Amino acid sequence: MSALIDYHKLSLSDRDVAFMREALKEAVKAAQEDEVPVGAVLVVNQKIVSRGHNQVELLQDATAHAEMICLTAGAAALGNWRLSEAMLYCTLEPCCMCAGAMLSSRLKRLVWAAPDLRLGANGSWIDVFASKHPMTEIEIANGVLKDEAADLMRAFFQKQRKKPGS
C-alpha cells in the first residue's frame, strides 16, 4: 500500500480503483514469474492486510490461485479465518474453488476486474453466488479496471503462444 494515499479519504469507487491497482501490481508479479497474471489484495479498514498472485506453476499446485494465497495469508495476518470485515480485490473473476473459499471465509465484499469465460463463477460460466448462502452474503462489484486486467491477460497468453513448442 502506498503511503501517499489516504484510502479513508477516498470515495468507495475511488478506493475500489486504488485497491484494484494494487491487485494489478500483484498480477504483474505473476506474469514476471511466468504465471497466469492474476493478483489479489485483502483489505480491512482501508488497509491492505495481505497480497497474493498466482503461483500454480511455481508450486505445481492447481489450488495456488492468487485469491487462495491472499485469503490464507490474510487469515494468518488477522489471526482469524473469519474474514467478515474484509474486502478482496482480484483482477479476474473467481473460479468455483476461490468462490467457495470466499463464502467459507465469510468475506464481506468481493471486487473483481475481468471476466473469466472459461472458469468464472460469478456468471461468466456459472454463478456460485446466485443462491442465497445460509451463513453469509458477499457484496460483489465487478468490472473495476476491467480493461487493464484483460489487457494483461491477453498480452500474457499472446507471449505464451509464441514460445517454442506451444
Q: Note the pLDDT tens digit of each residue in 138-161.
A: 999 999 999 999 999 999 998 888
Per the residue annotation, which of 22, 26, 35, 67 is the catalytic one? 67
Q: What's the confidence (pLDDT) of residue 7?
A: 63
Pairing of strands 39-44, 109-114: unpaired
Residue (of 137, 97, 88, 131) closest to 116 by Cα position:
97
Residue written as grid cell 456468471? 123
Instruction: Report helix, strand or coil for 48.
Output: strand
> H-type helices in the chain, by residue range?
12-32, 56-59, 66-78, 96-104, 146-161
Tell me the per-residue pLDDT of 53-65, one tens digit each, with 9 for 90 and over. Answer: 999 999 999 999 9
3-state secondary structure of 2: coil
Per-residue model confidence as pLDDT tens digits over 72-123: 999 999 999 999 999 999 999 999 999 999 999 999 999 999 999 999 999 9
pLDDT given for residue 1 in this prediction: 39
For residue 146, give the 3-state DSSP assignment: helix
| CA quadruple 8, 146, 125, 49: dihedral, nearest 10 | -30
Question: pLDDT tens, 22-43?
Answer: 999 999 999 999 999 999 999 9
pTM: 0.90
Question: What pLDDT, on the 0 to 100 scale, is given for residue 2?
Answer: 40
Active site residue 67: yes
pLDDT at res. 6: 64
Rg from Cα positions in the chain = 15
